[in-house]
């Protein structure tokens, strides 16, 4: 079939939309490749820190893996800061949006909110409210977000840490992104 002919969606036919859906399905299969490409491209950023952004992400994922986290949380640890370059003010929401179709509501919520939970460790030094996370205290995933930041994120800026390479995480990332999309009703 040639590309669709409509110029307004309301003019499209069933045949055209079925054709487009097949293309979209093929495109969706490669999302893991595109995420990995973007991850690799962000490497040499994170000015001022002892390690770069990519090493921080790998170190966070390494700590999660070694701590016995499931694949979903390890991949979330790997990608939690993926939005820093394009959405520095809401990078957690950016990363969570990428992960959302493939992870549970718990993991999505942790990644989406990790920035406010991570601020506990530095906000009081920069004029912010280190206790801002308390507004989420009654949320069922509050403790998991505290745990994520305390055990894996806030301590992953160590150039001497034995960090695993990206290749160690690629198979689990591909498994997560190959999942059927979750239905997140009511979240």
Tens digit of each residue's pLDDT (9 = 90 or more) over 33-58:
999 999 998 866 667 889 999 999 99
What does each C-alpha distance from 157 to 54, 97, 122, 165, 171 come to in angstroms?
Answer: 11, 25, 14, 15, 24
E strand intervals along 55-100: none
Full-model pTM: 0.90
pLDDT at 45: 64
User: Around Cβ 178, how many Cβ atoms within 10 Å?
Assistant: 12
What region, left, alpha or beta, does residue 12 occupy, with left being phi > 0 and alpha being psi -120 to 50 degrees? beta
Q: What is the pLDDT of residue 93?
A: 96
Give dist(CA 6, CA 99) in Å, integer: 32
**H or E element in which residue 103 lies:** none
The pLDDT, as a whole number, for residue 3 is 84
* Model confidence at 172: pLDDT above 90: yes
| 3-state DSSP assignment of residue 78 | helix
State pLDDT tens for residues 56-108: 999 999 999 999 999 999 999 999 999 888 888 899 999 999 999 999 999 99
pLDDT at 187 over 80: no
All domains in the chain, ordered by first residue:
13-177 (1.10.3210.10)
Across 3-17, 82-96, 108-122, which has the greatest mean pLDDT?
Answer: 108-122
CA torsion, ordered 158, 66, 91, 181, to nearest 10 deg: 160
Show the tokens assigned to 146: 């505290």
127, with CB counted inside 10 A (0-12, 13-18, 19+), is exposed
pLDDT for 183 = 66
Nearest C-alpha neighbor of 104 from the set 181, 33, 34: 181
Question: E strands of the chain, at which residues?
Answer: none
């Amino acid at each position: 079939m040639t590309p669709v002919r409509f110029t307004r969606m309301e003019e499209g036919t069933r045949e055209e939309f079925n054709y487009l859906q097949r293309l979209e399905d093929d495109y969706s299969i490669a999302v893991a490749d595109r995420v990995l490409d973007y991850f690799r491209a962000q490497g040499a950023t994170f000015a001022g820190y002892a390690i770069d952004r990519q090493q921080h992400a790998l170190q966070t994922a390494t700590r999660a893996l070694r701590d016995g986290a499931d694949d979903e949380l390890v991949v979330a640890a790997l990608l939690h800061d993926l939005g820093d370059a394009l959405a520095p003010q809401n990078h957690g929401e950016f990363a969570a949006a990428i992960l959302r179709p493939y992870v549970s509501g718990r993991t999505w919520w942790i990644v989406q909110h990790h920035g406010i939970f991570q601020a506990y460790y530095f906000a009081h030094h920069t004029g912010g409210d280190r206790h801002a996370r308390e507004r989420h205290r009654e949320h069922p995933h509050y403790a998991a977000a505290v745990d994520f930041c305390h055990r894996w994120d806030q301590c992953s800026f160590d150039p001497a840490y034995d960090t695993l390479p990206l290749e160690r995480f690629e198979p689990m990332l591909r498994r997560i992104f190959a999942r059927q999309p979750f239905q997140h009703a009511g979240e």
